[in-house]
């Protein structure tokens, strides 16, 4: 897996000022160690890319926070409601998160990765 292939499959990471080849390669290396090709089979590359995308988004959030003087690395969960003046909005975060998924719930890529990872580790099924 290369940064070029990753960018081809996930064009939302095309901005090389926000997502450098080095940072993509770094996250791909981590993701490769978390995805067992024997279990993932033909979906191995997709698993690696989803995992890397998850970590890239988390890293970019920390960078953006630091750029405006904030403290990077602070834990925040999915936003469930927000109010500005007389307008408010709320979301059913339970519909888009996985119970006991921890940090994987912090991005859509993490949710997608963990959904597939749990299927890959499920083993055989009998009806």
* Cα dihedral sign, 6-11-12-13: positive
Per DSSP, 71 falls in state -
Looking at residue 125, its pLDDT comes to 56
Looking at residue 121, its pLDDT comes to 72
Mean pLDDT for 61-74 is 88
pLDDT, tens digit, 9 for 90 and up, residues 10-47: 999 999 999 999 999 999 999 999 999 999 999 999 99
Sequence-ordered list of residues with C-beta below 8 angstroms from that of 31, at least 6 positions apart, any chain: 47, 48, 49, 51, 52, 55
Looking at residue 89, its pLDDT comes to 66
Percent above pLDDT 90 for the chain: 59
Q: Considering the chain, what is the average pLDDT of its residues?
A: 86
The rounded distance, in Å, linking the Cα atoms of 63 and 61 is 5
Q: Tell which phi-psi region holds residue 111, choosing left (phi > 0), alpha (psi between -120 and 50) or beta.
A: alpha
Cα dihedral: 61, 66, 68, 74 (round 10) = 60
pLDDT, tens digit, 9 for 90 and up, residues 70-94: 888 877 665 566 677 787 765 555 5
Q: How many residues does the chain have?
A: 127
């Amino acid at each position: 897996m290369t940064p070029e292939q990753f960018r081809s499959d996930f064009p939302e990471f095309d901005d090389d000022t926000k997502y450098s080849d080095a940072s993509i390669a770094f996250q791909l290396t981590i993701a490769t160690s978390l995805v067992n090709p024997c279990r993932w089979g033909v979906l191995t590359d997709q698993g690696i890319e989803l995992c890397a995308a998850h970590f890239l988004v988390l890293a970019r959030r920390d960078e953006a926070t630091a750029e405006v003087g904030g403290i990077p690395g602070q834990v925040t969960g999915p936003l469930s409601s927000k109010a500005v003046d007389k307008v408010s909005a709320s979301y059913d975060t339970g519909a888009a998160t996985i119970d006991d998924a921890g940090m994987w719930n912090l991005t859509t890529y993490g949710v997608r990765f963990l959904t597939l990872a749990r299927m890959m580790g499920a083993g055989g099924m009998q009806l």
